[in-house]
Amino acid sequence: MNLTLKIWRQAGPQAKGSMETYQVTDISEDMSFLEMLDVLNEDLTERGEEPVAFDSDCREGICGMCGLMISGHAHGPEVTTTCQLHMRSFRDGETITIEPWRADAFPVIKDLVVDRSSFDRIIQAGGFISANTGAAPEAHSVPVPKPLADRAFESAACIGCGACVAACPNASGMLFMGAKITHLGSLPQGQPERWARVQNMVATHDAEGFGGCTNIGECSAACPKEIPLDVISTLNSDLRKSRSQRH
C-alpha cells in the first residue's frame, strides 16, 4: 500500500505545532499502524530528518501507552488500541491524518506524545484500596457475588489510555474515572474508601482541567476496551450518595 500521512509535528511543549505531509510506500496490510510509523521513521532517519515521536510499549493492546487520533477517530476506525490496529483497515492511496490526544489536561510533550500524568494524579487521589502486603490472602476468603465480580471485571479492563478524553467533545475524563469507581466500588475490598474515593477523584479530575460530562457517549464508542456508559452513572450515583455517607 502507498499512503499519504498528515502528521502533527511539534518540537516541544511550548513550541507551536503544525500538520506536515509525508508519503510512505510498500506498506503491508499485515503491518500494525505503529509498524507503519516505524517504517516512516526509518525513512526519515535515513534522510537525516527528525523522526516522529509517538508512544507505545507492549504493542499487544494491554498497557494503554499508545494512542493516536487517526483521521478523527481515537485509536482509528476499529474498536481496538492503535498498536492493535492493522493497515488492512485502510485503503491503498488513502490520506490519513494523525494527531495527538488533544486536551489541556494532556499537554503535548513532543509531536504525538502527550503527558497523561493527570490520570495518575486522579488514581493517587482515590484509585486504590488499603490492604496488607506480603502474604496473599486465600482467594476464597472474601466472597464476591458473581454479578458484582463481572461488573468489576468489566470496568477493570480500562487500560487508562485516554481515548475517552480524546474523543469527548468536552475533554472530560468521566469514563476513565467511572471505570475506576465502578471497579473498586463493586468489590468488598473497595468499600472502606468508597465515599472518600469518589469525592477526591472528582475533585482532582476537575482541578486537572478536564471538562464536564454532558453524556454524549463518544467516550464509550472510542474505548478500545468497550467500557459502557453506565460506569458514569455509577460514578454520579456514588458522588450523590457520598455527601451523606462520608463521615
Partner 1 sequence: MKISMALAGLLFVFYVLMHMYGNLKLLFGQKAFDDYAHHLRTLGEPILPYSGFLWLFRLLLITALLVHVGFALHLWSKANRARSSRYVVKKAVAATVSSKMMRWGGIALLLFLVFHLIHFTILKPNFNSGETVVEGSPYSLVVAAFKLWWVVAIYLLAMIALGMHLHHGVWSAAQTLGLTQTAKSRATAKALGVLVALVVAVGFAIPPLAILFKIVGN
Q: What is the contact surface with ligand HEM in residues (CB under 6 A)?
A: 214-215
**Residue nearer to partner 1 on the CB measure, 142 or 207:** 207
Task: Answer with the entry of partner 1, ligand HEM, ligand FES, none that 202 interacts with (C-beta below 5 to 8 A by kind).
Answer: none
Residues 6+ apart with CB under 8 A from 122: 173, 176, 177, 180, 201, 204, 205, 208
Give min distance, CB of 224 to ligand FES, in A.
8
Give min distance, CB of 225 to ligand FES, in A.
10
Give min distance, CB of 210 to ligand FES, in A.
21
**Does residue number 170 form part of the binding site for partner 1 (CB under 8 A)?**
yes
Residues 70-109, interacting with partner 1 (CB under 8 A): 71-73, 97, 99, 102-105
User: For binding to ligand FES (CB under 6 A), which residues are involved?
Assistant: 56-59, 61-66, 81-83
Nearest Cα neighbor of 67 from 205, 153, 164 is: 164
**Does residue number 234 form part of the binding site for partner 1 (CB under 8 A)?**
yes
Give min distance, CB of 62 to ligand FES, in A.
6
Task: Answer with the entry of ligand HEM, partner 1, ligand FES, none that 81 interacts with (C-beta below 5 to 8 A by kind).
Answer: ligand FES
Give min distance, CB of 58 to ligand FES, in A.
4
Give min distance, CB of 222 to partner 1, in A.
7
Query: In the beta sheet, which residues pair with residue 24?
Result: 3
Task: Answer with the entry of partner 1, ligand FES, ligand HEM, none that 62 interacts with (C-beta below 5 to 8 A by kind).
Answer: ligand FES
Tell me the pairing of strands 95-99 and 3-9: parallel
**Residue nearer to partner 1 on the CB measure, 44 or 216:** 216
- Binding residue for partner 1, selected from 13, 137, 169, 192, defined by CB under 8 A: 169
Residues engaged in binding partner 1 (CB under 8 A)? 6, 8, 19, 69, 71-73, 97, 99, 102-105, 167, 169-172, 209-218, 220-222, 228-230, 232-240
